[in-house]
A and B are shown apart, each in its own frame.
Chain A
């Protein structure tokens, strides 16, 4: 009961608890995994995450998978001459000593074939496949369609 109350109290200031978890695999740190609510299951969902590479070897994100979506893909939003397009990204570089952000208006995961509509407050797992580090699964928080990112105390954004 005490824990429940504590969680409820924390919930007020930490609406994106999962997104604030940090997962590591090898030299990679994965955090701030979040998504946006969808209207129904027909429209694609989106997946954003922050990856930091503390090692000395370049890596690359080469794919994502999730039980929440039949056909997840990596995409990049490109705005050229004022026109936005969304080409498929075969591989997203995760440079040594740096990292990469999948964030609104840039690289992102596109979750096609959703098994169910994504609702604010839900969470679901996404497995990221890296060229060198291998596979790692993160929990993804579904925020509102309006959200611009998770509200983590330590978020460097």
Chain B
């Protein structure tokens, strides 16, 4: 079978399952008693196993199979989860991720899994030294946990034995991808009834036919046929006989006695606890099933198709603007009305398409608990990670890009921000550091905060460092206020860590973060209080494709300035421009505002002089500048088109947009321009 056409789906789904595994194991570590979590991990491993086996990636299937065995032991309570187990499971997930990634890159999943598998088997046999024994224990486990055999059943078994018939206990597994499990189960029954008699089914036959079972069910078959023939009878697609085992009325009976004996007094107490857990689990299941129904309502769409839809909407918006301009100049009755309607429809379509492209930040946030756990172990710091606003939505493109900067900020916060437990104790703080990751909507923007309650940034250290690295002069620093000094950490070549560690501080830190955010039309800023922690605030636009901008004219050229950057606009007579140290400035409400002539910095040709000029006040970080232009055209919704690869990386120009009259206007990138 050619499976290459399913490769994309396989990759995407396996990443999802790996994510589930990661967060599941993390959850398990924190709540080892919650069986539903282990079930979840088990299901993810199991599905992954099935998928990879179908695709022919046997290494993945093998490893997940070993994981499954281990998890099964935990699930049945044979082994208690311990740090060693969680660590190995994490390692497995890492290796699996590696393998999936190498498949994505067109290679083969050839990671070394032998050692890992041995560890898993060893852990699995932590209490049961030999594998064979483990197997039998496992099957008994199933009888104890899931199969309740009563006197009536035993009588039937005995009767069968007297007639020299075999009793087979058959575990049936139906592939989770199977759509009509009931039908498959019915086929199993039909085929088995031909060769024997089903005397008992767990769950009940009726429930099985109504699909009220997971992927497994167990049947007891009384038959004169042997194992091989039963296997043949079960040769149904999407159905696998996992285990066929001959049992006798005696062995079953012994099991029951065993179970009764085991449930002594201490067990009863445990039972009460388990019941409590069960209520919890039920609640969780409720949440889980809610989630499931939500998943069913989604459709996977290729991002490329959405992009082309977005492009079409973009063209629609351009043409709408163009029509509006025509209507203003031609003044026709009826046209206005139509255009207003068109305007409404376009705006609606635009917001719908934008919404389709929205993905919740959960996707990005989900990888952090694991990362924080690993780092906290590595550095010996206790950290409580709090995630807020996971449901906040952002454009898919932004989501894809925002991961790395956040990783960087979180690593920084853990490595430099949060103190060691001892230090925290000395400064009178709780030994567990708090790291908050908060996403929230803020008007037309989304704010993501990385907040720690660590030692905060040390202004003196920053000063010293900036001087040493010759990023500023002593005179300059004396004029700066505290916030301006703190902002220097975003300059390239700045790293406050005293030593280079593996986790952060390679000197490429925050300027990379800043550039990345800037390339997404966002801003990053920092608020810090020494001894109390710091807060990095990232502000991002909801979408990258269509923004509000102010169109301005400089000589004969038109430029667009993103509204997000603009504080205000004002007019100015040429005579009021003042000179301070070769820098032209103006006084705006008693404050000195440095002026920047777009005409000069962008070498705009032309010599037209107007008496009155306009100043667009923009913010860069915490500082304000006045951009001098000759004419303000107005505010407009613009569709950002990139120049393509060829002209990427032009500093000061974020892209271009096509105006209503078909001409092109360049979008200024304020962050890079000044």
A binds B: no
